[in-house]
Amino acid sequence: MVVDSETIIVVGITSPDATVSINGNLAIPDVEGRFALDMAIMPWENPLAIEVIATSLTGESLSLVRTVIFIP
């Protein structure tokens, strides 16, 4: 994904009881499982790999990695 903003919002949906980590930062799902986290893109991190890991109460994990490229 190519963006022209230094800030992005990572959003997703999972089980409401899952734990969600986005590049090591905690994102709390709401009662419907939706989560969001604002992230700053620093020029020296370009391109930036964003890893989202959702872990269920039983310990099962799913992960997804997306690359963001900042072009001012």
From residue 72, give the alpha-carbon distance in Å to each of 24, 41, 50: 26, 11, 19
Q: What is the pLDDT of residues 14-58, one digit of tens each?
A: 999 999 999 999 999 999 999 999 999 888 888 999 999 999 999
In this structure, the number of other CB atoms found within 10 A of the CB of residue 54 comes to: 22
Which residue, chain included where needed, has tokens 């099962």? 60
Residue 72: predicted pLDDT:
84
> Is the pLDDT reported for residue 11 higher than 90?
yes
Q: What is the pLDDT of residue 9?
A: 97
pLDDT for position 44: 80
Q: What is the pTM of this model?
A: 0.88
Distances (CA, A) of 63 to 4, 5, 37, 54, 57: 26, 25, 16, 6, 15
Give every CB contact of residue 40 below 8 A, 6+ residues apart in sequence.
6, 7
Domains for the chain: give ranges and CATH numbers. 2-65 (2.60.40.10)
